[in-house]
Copies of this chain bind each other. A is one copy, B any other.
Amino acid sequence: MTKIGIAGASGYTGLELIRLLASHPKVELTVLTSETFQGQNIAEVFPSLNGVVDLELRPLDDNIAKECEVLFLALPHTTAMSKLPGYLQSDCKIIDLSADYRLKDPKAYTDWYSVTHTHPELLKQAVYGLPELHREAIQPAQLVANPGCYPTSVILALAPLLNTDWVNLDSIISDSKSGVSGAGRKPSLTSHYAEVNEGVSPYGLADHRHTPEMEQELSGLAGKSVRLTFSPHLIPMTRGMLSTVYINLNQTLTDEKLVEHYRSFYKGESFVRVLNPGKFASSHHVLSSNFCDIGLKVDSRNQRLIITSALDNLIKGASGQAVQNMNIMLGLDEKTGLMAPAVFP
Instruction: Give me 5 other A-B pairs in contact (C-beta within 8 A), A22-B341, A51-B270, A171-B171 excluded.
Output: A19-B340, A47-B275, A187-B188, A193-B197, A206-B299
- The interface residues of chain B lying within 8 Å CB-to-CB of A165 are none
Given the known A-B contacts A49-B341, A235-B235, A235-B236, are A308 and B202 also in contact in the complex, defined by CB atoms under 8 Å? Answer: yes
Could you tell me if B201 and A284 are in contact, using CB atoms closer than 8 angstroms?
A: yes
- The interface residues of chain B lying within 8 Å CB-to-CB of A339 are 23, 52
Which residue among A173, A188, A239 has the maximum number of chain B CB atoms within 10 Å of its CB? Answer: A173
In the complex, A141 has a CB within 8 A of chain B: no
- The interface residues of chain B lying within 8 Å CB-to-CB of A189 are 185, 187
In the complex, A198 has a CB within 8 A of chain B: yes
Could you tell me if A273 and B51 are in contact, using CB atoms closer than 8 angstroms?
A: yes
Binding stretch for chain B, among A98-106, A256-264, A290-298: A290-298
Could you tell me if B345 and A239 are in contact, using CB atoms closer than 8 angstroms?
A: yes
Could you tell me if B47 and A193 are in contact, using CB atoms closer than 8 angstroms?
A: no
**Interface size range of chain A in the complex:** 35 or more
- Sorted from nearest, which 3 A-B pairs have the closest CB atoms? A199-B284, A194-B345, A206-B299
- Which of chain B's residues has its CB closest to A295's CB? B202
Copy count, this protein chain: 4
Could you tell me if B297 and A227 are in contact, using CB atoms closer than 8 angstroms?
A: no
> In the assembly, what is the distance between CA of A236 and CA of B170, in Å?
33
Could you tell me if B345 and A202 are in contact, using CB atoms closer than 8 angstroms?
A: no
In the complex, A97 has a CB within 8 A of chain B: no
> In the assembly, what is the distance between CA of A56 and CA of B260, in Å?
24
In the complex, A158 has a CB within 8 A of chain B: no
In-complex Cβ contact of A343 among B19, B275, B279, B306 (8 A): B19
Which residue among A189, A229, A293 has the maximum number of chain B CB atoms within 10 Å of its CB? Answer: A229
Minimum CB–CB distance from A270 to chain B (whole Å) comes to: 7
Could you tell me if A233 and B177 are in contact, using CB atoms closer than 8 angstroms?
A: yes
- The interface residues of chain B lying within 8 Å CB-to-CB of A282 are 47, 199-202
